[in-house]
Amino acid sequence: MKSLLTFIIIMCLFTTLNAQNTPKHDATILLDHYQNQRYADAFSYLHGIYGDTVADTKILSALAYTAQMSGKLPQAEQYYLRMLETDSLNVPVLFNLGNINNRRGNNAKAIIYYLKILKKDSTNFNVYRQLSTLAKNVGDFGSSIYYMQQANKINPLDGDVAFDLSIFYLGLKQIDEAEKVISPALEADSTNLTLILGKAKITFQQGKTAETIALCNKLMQEGDQSGAVISMLGTSYYLEKKYQPCIDTYNKLADDVQTEASLYYTGMAYKGLKDQRKGIAYLEKAIDKAISKSVDTYYGEIGESYDRLNKTKLSLSAYQKALQYNERPVTLYALAILYDDKLKNRKMAIKYYKKYLASKPPKNHQQYMAYSTSRIEALSR
């Protein structure tokens, strides 16, 4: 159907162009370019015949279209702007200008063109959708939501808009509003997986665990094994005290995508099954996942800053906290220097110099390693 419609439009365009009192193109040649999607060739062919000085809007439209379809966006924009001079509220032209600027990343300019369309057609669903996305791109979230709400009012059955708007309401904890938006769209398209996911997110927030389980299992059966679906399903199983299904669900996640929550609920599910050892193992993993891998680095940086402020005790405390998470060579060396230079504690300085040398420092630490060895010898006399 789409191909037939395109063919009809093209043939109408050819007929119109050939009716002009201007140099004429060969419709057969142009049709061949279109049918084989050689839009760059089509543009070159038309441009070679009509040039840039043509004033007829129908010819300009053909040049603009072929330029746009072949990725020549600046040229296409100029043709459309010339058409706009004869009709400043030409909706198709404004829409194309909005689309071109959107593709070129000029969101603010695209918004201007789409807003002009609303002056002539205030119920244009597609324009509101585009404006919502563009407003979000420029950081105007208030306008983005307003445009999305307008689009939803015009067509409450559109699944994409209903899903996006319901997720926005969920973020504001306006669960009832989210449900009002998603329900009619889902009723109209009960097999729409995006809408089913949206409904699952709502029932999960409502604490309707049985309904969430049913919806998530439907999504899983259709191939959606995303982290969000697995998380809602696994947690709902746990809350229903269905511990083994909870474990089986979370085990579908690869080790590198396990989260603090997935490990926690898996651990708690094992506890529910009286398997305390596995419960402990997974809860320990949850603790590790909850702690940043860089926490020792942060404490090390704090320790260095306190040292520069001559707050030795605070510096010492920060470095020792860093060691609780990771015994990096640089931290051990910093402690050795602190005990040696600031605290004059020979015993502890030797201890940390030795620990530093035993920690297999990187090759670019040769200078520090040599200094540590010399200080151990000096302090041991």
The Cβ-side half-sphere exposure at 297, using a 13 Å CA radius, reads: 4
Mean pLDDT is lowest, of 45-54, 89-98, 111-120, 151-160, for: 45-54
Identify whether 80 is part of a domain. Answer: no
Closest CA to 65 of 43, 45, 38: 43
User: Across all residues in the chain, what is the average pLDDT?
Assistant: 91
The CATH number given to whatever domain includes residue 275 is 1.25.40.10
Q: Please report, for residues 10, 17, 21, 73, 342, the alpha-carbon distance to residue 54 in angstroms, rounded to integers and kept in the order given.
A: 20, 12, 11, 19, 84
Last residue of a domain, one of 243, 259, 290: 290
Rounded distance between C-alpha atoms, residue 356 and residue 106, angstroms = 55
Q: Which residue has the higher pLDDT, 278 or 381?
A: 278
Say whether both 247 and 213 belong to one domain. yes
Same domain, 251 and 236: yes
Q: Is residue 19 part of a domain?
A: no
Q: Are residues 201 and 214 in the same domain?
A: no
Task: Give domain status of residue 364, yes or no.
Answer: yes
The mean pLDDT value for 260-273 works out to: 97
* Tens-digit pLDDT profile for residues 128-145: 999 999 999 999 999 999
Let me know whether 300 and 368 are in one domain.
Answer: yes
Are residues 221 and 273 located together in one domain of the fold?
A: yes
pLDDT at position 274 is 97
Length of the chain: 381
SS3 content of the chain, % helix, strand, coil (to 5): 75, 0, 25
pLDDT in tens, 196-233: 999 999 999 999 999 999 999 999 999 999 999 999 99
Domain final position from 230, 264, 290: 290
SS3 call for 275: coil
d(CA 92, CA 105): 20
Write down the pTM of the prediction: 0.76
Say which residues have a Cβ less than 8 Å from residue 298's Cβ, sequence separation at least 6: 292, 322
How many independent structural domains does the chain possess? 3
Contact 229, 197 (CB under 8 A): yes
- Clarify whether residues 316 and 271 are in a common domain: no
Q: Is residue 104 part of a domain?
A: no
Q: What is the mean pLDDT of residues 61-84?
A: 91
Write down the pLDDT at residue 31. 80
Domain limits for position 176: 162-206
Query: Quick one: 303 and 372 in the same domain?
Result: yes
Is 367 found in the same domain as 299?
A: yes
From the list 138, 193, 136, the residue with the least C-alpha distance to 168 is 136
The answer to the question of residue 367 being in a domain is yes
CA Rg value for the chain: 33
Segment 23-51, tens digit of pLDDT: 677 778 878 888 888 889 888 888 888 88
Would you say 130 and 121 are in contact if contact means Cβ atoms under 8 Å apart?
no
In a domain, 260, yes or no: yes
Residues 328 and 357 in one domain: yes
What would you measure as the largest C-alpha separation in the chain, in angstroms? Answer: 107
Same domain (yes/no): 175, 239:
no
Q: What are 299-314's pLDDT values in tens digits? A: 999 999 999 999 999 9
Of the three residues 270, 290, 310, the one that is the final residue of a domain is: 290
CA-based end-to-end distance of the chain: 94
In a domain, 167, yes or no: yes
In a domain, 96, yes or no: no
pLDDT at position 146:
97
Both 301 and 346 in one domain: the answer is yes
Per-residue pLDDT at 53 = 81
d(CA 235, CA 249): 9
Predicted local distance difference test score (pLDDT) of residue 23? 65
